[in-house]
Structure 1
Amino acid sequence: MNLRTIFILGALSAFGPLAIDFYLPGFPAIALAFGTDDKHVQLTLASYFLGLSIGQLAYGPVADRFGRRIPLLFGVGLFTLASLACAFAPSLEWLIGARFVQALGGCAGMVLSRAIVSDKCNPVESAKVFSQLMLVMGLAPILAPMLGGFMVNAYGWQAIFLALTIFSALSSLAVALGLPESMPADHPRQPLSGAFGQYRRLMADHVFLGYALTGGIAIAGMFAYISGSPFVFIKLYGVAPEHYGWLFGTNAAGFIVTAQVNARVVGRLGPAWVLSKAVWVYLAAALILLLIANLHTEQLWPLLVPLFIYIASLGCIIPNSSACAMTGQGQRAGSASALLGCLQFSVAAGAAALVGVLHDGTAVPMATVITLCGVVAVGLSMLTRRLQKRRDALSVHIDVTL
């Protein structure tokens, strides 16, 4: 896959994290503008996550029927218009609705970028490309809150959504001019009437489901960290709000570096093997984090070390689980990508909510949820690896018999 295509797919993959992380510094300003509180402004984030989950399921069958370009251009265009609507929202209710529509458009890039990679690459190449796309996913949490905070202070919260409008419009132009249709012309076009059947068959594919949930559970741990770290860093350990972004960014940097290392070694070791080892690193770091959290240390740095290792391990887990799940999906790659994304965000949203439910004024709830995710991820990885080997052995047996 050429560099231009990777660059465009990276921009499309950035829609999700940018639309989340970019406007977080604007919460107080939005609350002030609409005469409400942060709790009600949080509904704009909840509506976005809801739109991401629902929208991904819609784009999959459409992409398998009409190809990748048409739904991609529609989705990016919808994101552009919704971002503009957010910038000029006259009320909080309007903003909540516009955020939902914005998510419906933005998830097109997330679903179809995975499908395009699957169309063009074999499993090892897919893992390498997904690792390169992780560079965008890692940079967004570093740069977006800092840039968002600057724009809010300098120009107001509306400037964030105007910037997203410009970014998505340029991305739409890049897709139109530089991203040809990737779905092979000889692939059978799946009828929309068979969408539920496709999803049912994918849910019955235990190998696909195992890899998808392994990555989804790992991402759920990351969302637990995103949800819990502002309280732990700022309120519990007294980190200045302006320094929080640097701590958050340091962990994201570990994620980026590991993803790039993964791109170099996965061709020699294979994505399934690397994934099976990375989940154990994740679990080990999570267990150390939970132990330290229960000690209620007066200093923050003992928590930061296992947090860094745990976040870094995701740089191997996320791209390799996605590559393994998308392997062999062929003509239903759009539906597979959609279900993969829906499962990941649904589980992740549940983990973030669980941190809030368990909140007790310490770092223990965040560490507990992260550790639970690590235990489940290791179990799923081991089970899926056995199912994959059994399927491969059966396939070889059938080939020999024939």
Structure 2
Amino acid sequence: MHTSVKPTRQLLVLLMALTALGEISTQLIIPSLSALEWVMAAKPGSSLLALSVFVAAFGLGQLILGPLSDRLGRRPILLAGLLVYLAATSWMLLANSMGEFIGARALQGLGACSALVMARAIVRDVWQAQAGPALAVTVIGMLCAIVVSPALGGLLVRLGGWQAPILLGFFIAGAMVLVVLGLYRESNAALDPHAGRLTTVVSNYLDLLKDRSFRALALTLALTYGAMFAVIAGSSAVYIGLLGLSPSQYGITLSAIVAALIGGALFTRRNITRLGPHKIVSIGVTLVALGGIATLVTHQVLGLSVLGLSLPQVLVTLGGGMVLPASVAGAVMPNAHRAGLAAGFMGFAQMAGATVSGILLSTLQDGSAWAMVFLNASFAFVAWSIFHLLQPQRRSVSALP
């Protein structure tokens, strides 16, 4: 007989950590990319592919693991994913070439995605109608990782070389396995024997995408994260290579910029029940667009500088901190019977935006900051435009279950 899982502070902390694993895996290694290219005797910029393949695997995996967890349960999928993550991270530490490192990184992304999609589905299972504020809290864990990890990664590279940040990720994931085994029981009380089948998955995804509101939230999330990822992926070369910051100075600067993400998530947690997720996404994506355009204008008029690049990006990250949790809540909460599927698609959308942004950044890279700034502003403006084009004219808080 299935025993219901009660919402507890300990479980919420675990879900915050699981939500953060993907960002920990990315942000920790960004300050070490230049050192990694040197050690692997790879051409400059080739390490960006390691970021892109991770987010591609991270996103595609969620399309499969989300609905599969509706059939098999959250716990087995979560544990299997974490074990794959540990194996892939070990391979990264032993890699002898950039190609081998990139292959291991793709496998690591597949393992890490289980943590994010399962955490979001578990929140819907356990907190039910109160999932909105709880989802915002779990996102705060991810955002804290974005804030802390670059500075920590820069320090670890200086102290222990390029392998040190990867080794920390290995130990964090290992600790998560132990906590999941000891703390979390299965929360999916209504396993669907038809979920996970190809025809059922395709049918359910098509049904989700028929909803204009769901499409608006998914596309806004994808484009907003794409705008932020352009800066996350490109900022190392700009701040260190063009502006002359050290890896540790760069880590501190990036951490200061993305700290505003936490402010946006806290605003969402306090106001999502009163305003509803769609209103918060509207506010957030407007801030993202304003910040992206301000960054582009400042770069074109005043040139490249630390303050001119960093200060407008605070608006982008503040708005992003609202868009990320509110869009997921708006998509998952009305779909309790297929929470894994809905969470999986939103995770896929988020990573698809990052993947496209990373590929475009690598393609357009010319040694200047122009590609990063242009993509940041373009993704931000298109996110704002699409949300307001697709958003239903009237959406009330009472529409949420």
Q: TM-score, normalised by structure 1?
A: 0.88
Matched, 1:142 2:147: yes
- Opposite residue 188 of structure 2, the aligned amino acid is M
**Matches of residues 90-109 of structure 1 in structure 2 within 5 Å?**
90-109=96-115
**Matches of residues 57-72 of structure 1 in structure 2 within 5 Å?**
57-72=63-78
For 2:264, the equivalent position in structure 1 comes to 258
**Matches of residues 307-346 of structure 1 in structure 2 within 5 Å?**
307-346=313-352
Q: Give 1:320 shift.
A: 0.5
From the superposition, tell whether residues 291 and 265 of structure 1 become closer, same or farther in structure 2 (CA, over 3 Å).
same
1:277-299 deviation line (CA, Å, top 9, x unaligned): 22222222222222212203364
For 1:297, the equivalent position in structure 2 comes to 303
Matched, 1:130 2:135: yes
- Opposite residue 128 of structure 1, the aligned amino acid is P
Counterpart pick for 1:248 among 238, 244, 254:
254
- CA distance in 2 between counterparts of 1:5 and 1:373 reads 35
Q: Give 1:159 shift.
A: 3.5
Matched, 1:85 2:91: yes
- CA distance in 2 between counterparts of 1:191 and 1:376 reads 34
Please tell me whether the aligned partners of residues 80 and 168 of structure 1 are also in contact (alpha carbons under 8 angstroms). Answer: yes
RMSD, aligned α-carbons: 2.6
Matched, 1:23 2:29: yes
Counterpart pick for 1:151 among 147, 152, 156:
156
- CA distance in 2 between counterparts of 1:367 and 1:82 reads 33
Please tell me whether the aligned partners of residues 209 and 325 of structure 1 are also in contact (alpha carbons under 8 angstroms). Answer: no
- Opposite residue 207 of structure 2, the aligned amino acid is R
Q: Give 1:342 shift.
A: 1.3
- Opposite residue 252 of structure 1, the aligned amino acid is V
SS at match of 2:223: helix
Q: Give 1:246 shift.
A: 1.6
- CA distance in 1 between counterparts of 2:38 and 2:307 reads 35
For 2:175, the equivalent position in structure 1 comes to 170
- CA distance in 2 between counterparts of 1:119 and 1:79 reads 24
Q: Give 1:357 shift.
A: 3.8
Q: Structure 2, unaligned stretches of length 5 or more? A: 1-6
From the superposition, tell whether residues 149 and 227 of structure 1 become closer, same or farther in structure 2 (CA, over 3 Å).
closer
Counterpart pick for 1:55 among 51, 61, 66:
61
- CA distance in 2 between counterparts of 1:361 and 1:159 reads 28
Structure with larger Rg: 1
- Opposite residue 36 of structure 1, the aligned amino acid is A
- CA distance in 2 between counterparts of 1:244 and 1:151 reads 13
For 2:287, the equivalent position in structure 1 comes to 281
**Matches of residues 100-249 of structure 1 in structure 2 within 5 Å?**
100-122=106-128, 125-185=130-190, 188-193=192-197, 194-249=200-255
- CA distance in 2 between counterparts of 1:381 and 1:302 reads 28
Q: Give 1:32 shift.
A: 4.0
Q: Give 1:220 shift.
A: 0.8
Please tell me whether the aligned partners of residues 87 and 159 of structure 1 are also in contact (alpha carbons under 8 angstroms). Answer: no
- CA distance in 1 between counterparts of 2:177 and 2:252 reads 31
Q: Give 1:361 shift.
A: 5.5
For 1:10, the equivalent position in structure 2 comes to 16
Q: Give 1:2 shift.
A: 2.0
Q: Give 1:250 shift.
A: 0.8
Q: Give 1:276 shift.
A: 1.7
SS at match of 1:183: coil
Q: Give 1:3 shift.
A: 1.3
Q: Give 1:388 shift.
A: 6.7
From the superposition, tell whether residues 41 and 359 of structure 1 become closer, same or farther in structure 2 (CA, over 3 Å).
closer
From the superposition, tell whether residues 91 and 247 of structure 1 become closer, same or farther in structure 2 (CA, over 3 Å).
closer
- CA distance in 2 between counterparts of 1:371 and 1:299 reads 17
Please tell me whether the aligned partners of residues 88 and 158 of structure 1 are also in contact (alpha carbons under 8 angstroms). Answer: no
SS at match of 1:121: helix
